[in-house]
Amino acid sequence: MELKRKNVDMTVGNPIKVIVLFTLPLLLGNLFQQLYNIIDSIVVGNFVGDEALAAVSSSGSLINLLIGLVQGITVGAGIVIAQYYGAHDVKKMRSTIHTTIIFALILGAILTVTGYFLSQELLILMNTDESVLPLSTKYFKTYFLGCVFTLMYNAGSSIFRAVGDSKRPLYFLIISSIFNVLCDLLFVGVFKWGVIGAGVATIVAQAISMILTFYKLFKDKTEYQVKFKELKIDFESLKKIIAYGLPTGIQNSIISLSNVFVQSNINSFGPIAQAGCGAYSKIEGFATLPSGSFSMALSTYVGQNIGANKTKRALRGGMLGLLLSMLVTEILGCILFIFAPYLIGMFSDTKEVMDVGTRQAHIIVLFYFLLAFSHGMSGILRGAGYSKTPMFTMIICWVVVRITLIPVALSIPGWNNLQTIFWFYPFTWSLSFIVLSIMFIFVYNKKVKNDIISIAF
């Protein structure tokens, strides 16, 4: 049977229209993924209590730290696949796809074992309050029993997105989100399993999304169809996947390490601070979804056009997509500024918890456009093959600066409070805005401009 090429070719058509149409399913997919994360906190906070909410919230940064590295590998794989797809090199594309699946399975298994057996020690290193440590450990261990499903889903969805199909990952997430909500209400609300119930509900949802993703990858007769007989590691493809994905993974992991460090400072202010900041982080996850979605879309767009040797088109569409991402994200930030008290109140009706979350929102949200720029520019640079540039930028601006200066700031008389920690987010976003702008100008002058001139002549 003839293989079909039926997905979005981002090397043709109006750039901004192509990017927006590709981004919308990504945005909705991320919305549903964020939804079933936030449902855990809402159900736990209302059915179990503030300590359980703090336990679930305090685990978030550590979970992101451990899965960030391996998820970066799937992002890198998606960029390689997108470039081969744009160049119509089916043989190399297929070998990269099958290598990605096997590699993700291995990494997922390693991550499951690591996260489960080191959970309590890692939470202690984060200064997790003793009153919530047992609950945090239970949730953490339960969550990581299913993280191989998360990694495999991300590998499969990166394949769909690389070939221009951002709709199917959306459909699968909608279905899994519905199951997550139902399981949360059943396991936590009816069976009274507490934080373990929230973790089990997440595992069920992740497993469903993975099964649906790979069912379609194996079943559909397309040029990217997965076949058992081709599931092996091609070391040439693996080398390129790592070259593109490892910097992204290191960036994700180290940024999460920075957040773990920040969370440890927040934890030192007690369970109320943990619960309030945890509630805000869930709301922030919704408001910043456009920046992450546009970043993924821009990586695919730029990757396909670079693969097709359309550098000028890659640049024009990338800049338009970046500006749109900043605009949409900042609008949502303004809305969050206004409605923060009511949104934080969904998680807890404790006044002190609501005050902490609202205070954090009012300090941070008006600077979301800086965050959107950093994510969008990182996506553009990764799609063009410059994955190390955003990695080093984020390490310096978001990690080194935070880890170095936050303790110094907290030691200053009058500054030993949560507001000091909150202000470091817009401060470090501003630094990355400046550095990435300078690096883009450098890359443009050294590489992009020359490519456009050579194509023109």
Summarize pLDDT for 42-90 with one digit per residue, the tens. 787 778 777 777 777 666 666 766 677 777 788 888 889 988 988 889 9
User: Which residue is it, tokens 């008006």?
Assistant: 366
- Asked if 27 and 290 touch (Cβ cutoff 8 Å), the reply is yes
Residue 62 confidence (pLDDT): 66
Residue 424 confidence (pLDDT): 93
Over residues 312-321, the pLDDT tens digits come to 898 889 999 9
Domain boundaries, the chain: 15-456
Q: Report the alpha-carbon distance of residue 34 to residue 288 in Å, rounded.
A: 11
Residue 5 confidence (pLDDT): 47
Residue 441 confidence (pLDDT): 85
Q: By C-alpha distance, which of 393, 379, 122 is closest to 250?
A: 393
Residue 149 confidence (pLDDT): 93
Cα 359 to the center of its chain, rounded Å: 25
Q: Exposure pattern of 57-94 as b/e (b: 16+ CB <10 Å)?
A: bbbbbbbbbbbbbbbbbbbbbbbbbbbbbbbeeeebbb
Q: Report the alpha-carbon distance of residue 289 to residue 292 in Å, rounded.
A: 5
- Asked if 271 and 132 touch (Cβ cutoff 8 Å), the reply is yes
Cα 251 to the center of its chain, rounded Å: 11
Report DSSP state, residue 7: S
Q: Does pTM top 0.85 for this prediction?
A: no
The SS3 assignment for 4 reads strand
Q: Which residues of the chain have pLDDT under 70?
A: 1-8, 33-38, 40, 57-62, 64-66, 126, 256, 446-457
Q: Report the alpha-carbon distance of residue 425 to residue 83 in Å, rounded.
A: 34
> Counting beta carbons within 10 angstroms of the beta carbon of residue 345, is it exposed (0 to 12), middle (13 to 18) or buried (19 or more)?
middle
